[in-house]
Amino acid sequence: MTAESRTQAPEFTPKWYLVDMFFTSIMVSLVLLVSPTTKFKNCDALRLKFKSGVAATAKAAAASGATLNAKVYALNKGLDRDKDGAACEQ
């Protein structure tokens, strides 16, 4: 390869990098928007999907018997009345 052919090769310029970043962020936003919401209005609703409740950490899951799911717990933190890291545990 000569120096000349190298300069003619398409380059990944900073401008294209920004365009790529832009579309990547749009795609990520769309995926987050269409992914099913896992925020429940109360424990009855949450328990339809997570029978024993949801826990934020493995430790809280072991202590409460709730299903470990940090994402669902974070969205439903308000349902954890005793703030022990597990929501709607029984």
Residues of this chain that bind Ca ion (CB under 5 A): 80, 82, 84, 86
What Å distances lie between residue 33 and 4, 30, 38, CA to CA?
Answer: 47, 5, 12
Least Å distance between CB 36 and Ca ion? 23
Distance CA 88, CA 90 (A): 6
Phi, psi angles (nearest 5°) of residue 83: 50, 40
15/81 with CB nearer Ca ion: 81
Least Å distance between CB 69 and Ca ion? 14
6/78 with CB nearer Ca ion: 78
41/83 with CB nearer Ca ion: 83
Least Å distance between CB 87 and Ca ion? 6
Pull the structure tokens for residue 64: 């409460």
Pull the structure tokens for residue 77: 């933190």
